[in-house]
Amino acid sequence: MINKTFNTIRIGTRASPLALWQAKQILNKIKLGEIVKIKTTGDKILNKPLSKVGGKGLFTKELDEALLNKHIDIAVHSLKDVPTIISKKIALTYILPRGSHSDILISNSIHKNIHAFPRSTKIGTSSPRRLAQIKKIRPDIEVIPIRGNIHTRLKKIKEAKVDGVILALSAIERLNIKIKYLILKNSDFLPSAGQGIICVAYLKENNSIKKFLEPFKNINVSFQAATERAVLEKLKGDCNSAIAVNSSIKDNKIFINSAVYSQYNNSCIQESINGSIKESLNLGKKLGNQLIKLGALKILGYD
């Protein structure tokens, strides 16, 4: 556990370039600490889809264990990598502004939109959501499972193993990668819950850390994270789920959009809701229930 004089805070992170960038931003924000690199199972197993080897939790499992064993004081994650249900001993907080939530398509040939790509184009992604979204609008496109860090995925294009890859715009911007890309419209590619959000995990019992982080808290991002994850929880979302959720805040109101896709046909349910940001959590739950009434669980294969 961190000592009470706050000589240092041990910041746990994965060792990928993007994860290290995120951890350094947290360090720059709190002005105190040292970065501890931890290799996760998700970084070790790259030849299989996450859904086949244990899900998104493979990127957080070892960091959670390090927290619970008090080998680190906080852990830094991309929120979209954090499972919907986490240990009751761990809390999440948000101290950085949200990055872009958009998805982008990077390829050797830039077209005006995804509809303009030739038939039988091969696009790499390991995301069930992105796969379902592609198949909904371009069933002729071949989707190739692809994993690894950002540079590993971009290398697949150079090696001609795929014609393009879909990535989060925030990742490209954060790593300052200079490359041409096509921003995919939200109407076709609504992003995953938490995309662009960096979160900090800590032990609930660690009141010293909680009090230390509280003044840095980004209120709007906290509301967005809570509402988007509430939708996921209602829908029993996991790494196998083709679920999209995104929110925005304006004039103390939060606007939430969500879509649920079938991975087997073109079925899709979309719904939205808005209200006071103070009701973010309840609005997320309400939106999840609305989607369930429209048949979301059946589309997801839970019924």
Catalytic residues: 81
Residue given tokens 């995804």 in the structure block: 114
* Burial bucket for residue 274 (CB in 10 Å: 0-12, 13-18, 19+): middle
In whole angstroms, give the CA distance from residue 260 to residue 291: 8
DSSP single-letter state for residue 275:
E
In whole angstroms, give the CA distance from residue 121 to residue 115: 11
- Radius of gyration of the chain from Cα atoms? 19
User: Which amino acid, residue 165?
Assistant: V
Chain-centre distance of CA 176, in angstroms? 19
Give the C-alpha distances (Å, rounded to integers) separating 231 from 228, 254, 255, 264: 5, 14, 13, 22
In whole angstroms, give the CA distance from residue 272 to residue 257: 4
Give the C-alpha distances (Å, rounded to integers) separating 78 from 17, 82, 112, 206: 13, 7, 29, 22
- Residue 48's nearest CA partner among 185, 148, 138 is 148
171: its two tokens: 């990742």
Any residues with CB less than 8 A from the CB of 238 and at least 6 apart, and which?
A: 55, 56, 83, 84
